[in-house]
Every structure is written in structure tokens, then in C-alpha cells.
Amino acid sequence: MPFFRNDIPVFAAVLFAAILLAAAVVLIVCFSRKNAGTPDSPVYRLIFLISRLLQGRSPRLIIEDKALSQAEAPYIMLANHESFFDFNYIHRMAHPRPPAFLINNYYCTRPVLKTLKRKSGMLAKKLFTSDFGAPVSIMRTLRSGYPVVIFPEGRLSPDGRSNPIVEEGAAFYRRLGVDLVLVKIHGAYYAGPKWRKRRYHADSCVRVSVERIIKRDELKTMQDAEINALITSTLYNDASVDPPCSYPRKDKAEGLEGLLYRCADCGELYSMHSKGNTLRCRACESIHTLDEEYRFTSEPFTIPAWYDHIRETERAELDRFHLDAAVRTVICPAAGGSSRKEKGECRLDAECFSYHSPGIDFSIPTEKLPALAFSCSKEFELYYNNEQYFFYPLEHPEQSARWALFVDLLSERRRNERELTCNKRKKRS
């Protein structure tokens, strides 16, 4: 069947999605009262059925979860976040009861999705902004006996390495009084990286392993900094190190310019073009080709190394940079409802992010922006005044990754400064 191949015909995908939507409505009407609002509901099972159908042929999945039996349910499970379908992989572990997932609030407020979320027991969290409802929902779910799964990075890995955890949760996890299960996902990044539209699940291998279980009594004896450091080090993964399989596909590089937006040789912005397994610079004509292990055949050799090259180039401009972009904006109320569309202008410098349009003007100090979620070659997004703003650059959409990277660099500098200040205080005492 063509739908279950990687190259899904658009018409078939739309038709199948319409059929699934109709089936969802029927099932909701018929079974909405049975275990409603919990992961034991038929709607919960429907969500994962639809997700697996949309995923197509699954990768070869290796689950190493024997240690999970040592965790006392309900528990909090933390995992790194390599791909959109990480939910599917975690769901297939041997949980004593189906877990609730903490997911992006956007997927919980759109039409139909809002109803599915409410009836399935999924939990919502606004990305990188204060959200007092999420902790309450987590505690309520645990009291009902269901495990809760959290991806503490809050976003997909851009280059295959785990993102910094900018919203640390040690004190909260300890206060919950449950076991903490740390899980690592490896291989999912190359199966479906955020910069590529096509997914290679059928040719891929994904490993999901329980790396550490911190018992509730042990958590009580640990300091916040110790817990946060342990979470970060245990969940950290680099997809370029020891990939679990080879990738013989002929179009692996397509879309990669949405992440590697600057030439590694001449440094030109927005000059990269992808075709097949190659990235070519329009400015200097340099060519870099990916092999079957997602390594370039010439320097910088790996996607993370190229991304680091860009990172260091941008870091040198951190005190004097400014970004400006004319954008098409989609504004979604955090509580749901109809979205609004307009055009405006965004600006970012070391001090603040600002947005101007005929309908609204606002600014956010960069110290209030721990991270900026983005979709490669498409948009970047943030919350303001309880609404989610999606900004689509009218020129060079690949610049979305650049906006996110500068916010990451500013956030990293603040973390380093806080750590330095803390170390100085310790030495004085």
C-alpha cells in the first residue's frame, strides 16, 4: 500500500487523515464516557493507533526496560527528545498502567485535538513560559495511579544532541514523592529529524533503554543541583556517536539547510542548497556529501560539528547582533478558539525580542526567553499574554533556526554567569 511507504502521496495522506478523523468522531461519541479523561480510555488508545498509522512502517524498535519493574508505580518518567514519534516508542514500554504524556499546549487547544486531549488524559504545558496548570495536572494524574512521561528538553533536538534543560525540575520531582525513571532514546533522530519532511522509519533502528531509576527515598536525600545534574548527564545523547544502523537512502540531506543555514567554508548566510545526499553552497560552490552513517565525507564531518561551527560564529557577535524579519504571523489563543493572522515585524538583540504589527506591539526581555521553539525553514514561536505566536519569515525562512540559536546562546551565557556567581559564593563560605 503506498500510504505505508515513506513517499506518501499527498492525496492519499489527506484522504486517510479524513477517514481517521471521521472514525475518531464516531468513537468519541460512542465511547466518550468509558474511563473518560484517563489513559485507560478508548480515546487514548485511538490517539496512539492514529499516531502509529501516520508513522507508517515503524523502525526496528529495541526496548530495554527490564529495570522498569523495579520502579514503584506511579512514577515520573523523563526521556530525551529526538523525534516527533518518541511518544510512540515510550508508549510501547512495559508500563504497569498506560502513562499520561505532558505535551505541547498547542496540540491540546486546536479543534478536535482539544476534545481528544480532554478525554484521553493527556497533560498540557505551554512551552518555555510560566504554566501553573501543568504541575497541578501532573499531581492529579499521579494520585489517580498513572505514570507521567515528560520530555524535559521541551523541544526536539536540532542537531542530534540533547538540548539543555532550561526549565529544571528537581525540587518539583522530589516534592511529588514518587520514583523517577530516566530513559534514553537513541536512533530516532536520523529516522525523523526535525529538518526533514520525509521519514525513514522503515530503514531505521531505535533503541529505548531505562538508564537509571531514582527511588523516592533517594530523591529526598539529594540536593536540587545534584538531581538536575544527574538528569542532564543521564539523558544526554549524541545521535552521531555509534548510530544503531546505516542509512542507505539517496536524499538524506534534503531540508538540512533549514538547520545548517551558514556555509561551513565561506561563512555565507542562507547560501546552502540541498539535493540528494549533498549540501552545496551557492556562494563558494563547496559541496558536502552525507554517507550511510550520516557523516560528511569532508570537514566538518558531522552535523553537530557543522552546527558548532555556526554556533561559534554567532557567539562572536553576541554583544552586538540584531535580527530583523518581516513575518506572516498566526496567533493562537492558549485556551483554544479561532486563530488570527496578520503581518508584522520581529526584532531580536541581546536585550529583548520585540514584535510590531498594525494590531499589537510588544517586547519581551531576553532574560524571560529561556528558549525559542522553531520549525526548520518554516517558523519560530513563543507565548505572549497567554497567546501563542507563530512567526513565518517572508524571506529566507531558514533564518528561523538562527533566531532560535541566538536565544540559546544568550540563555547559555546567563546559565554560565549564574554558575560562576554560585561558585564564587561557595568559595567565600
CA–CA dist 354, 331 (Å, integer) = 15
CA–CA dist 275, 253 (Å, integer) = 7
Delimit the domains of the chain by residue range: 2-235, 256-315, 322-418
CA–CA dist 49, 94 (Å, integer) = 17
3-class SS of residue 2: helix
Fold of 2-235: Glycerol-3-phosphate (1)-acyltransferase (3.40.1130)
pLDDT at residue number 319: 93
Per-residue pLDDT tens digits for 25-42? 555 545 556 677 899 998
Topology agreement, domain 2-235 and domain 322-418: no
CA–CA dist 337, 47 (Å, integer) = 22
Q: Judging by beta carbons within 10 Å of its beta carbon (0-12, 13-18, 19+), is residue 406 exposed, middle or buried?
A: buried
Shortest CA distance to 52 belongs to which of 98, 1, 100, 87?
A: 87
Q: In terms of DSSP H, where are the helices of 32-74?
A: 42-55
Q: Which three cell numbers stand for residue 144?
A: 489517580
The size of the chain, in residues, is 429
pLDDT at residue number 19: 63
Q: Which three cell numbers stand for residue 242?
A: 555509534
322-418: CATH class:
mainly beta
The mean pLDDT of 45-68, rounded to a whole number, is: 88
pLDDT at residue number 219: 96
Phi, then psi, of 278 in degrees rounded to 5: -120, 150
- Residue 392 pLDDT level (bands cut at 50, 70, 90): very high
Contact 317, 330 (CB under 8 A): no
pLDDT at residue number 192: 87
pLDDT at residue number 6: 42
As a dihedral over the C-alpha atoms of residue 282, residue 283, residue 288, residue 290, rounded to 10 degrees, the angle is -40
| Strands lying side by side in the sheet with 287-289 | 272-275, 278-281, 287-289
Per-residue pLDDT tens digits for 301-334? 999 999 999 999 999 999 999 999 999 999 998 7
Between residues 381 and 50, the one the model is more confident about: 381
pTM confidence score: 0.89
Q: Which three cell numbers stand for residue 210?
A: 531505562
Helix, strand, coil share (%) of the chain residues, nearest 5: 35, 25, 40
Between residues 424 and 287, the one the model is more confident about: 287
- Residue 228 pLDDT level (bands cut at 50, 70, 90): very high
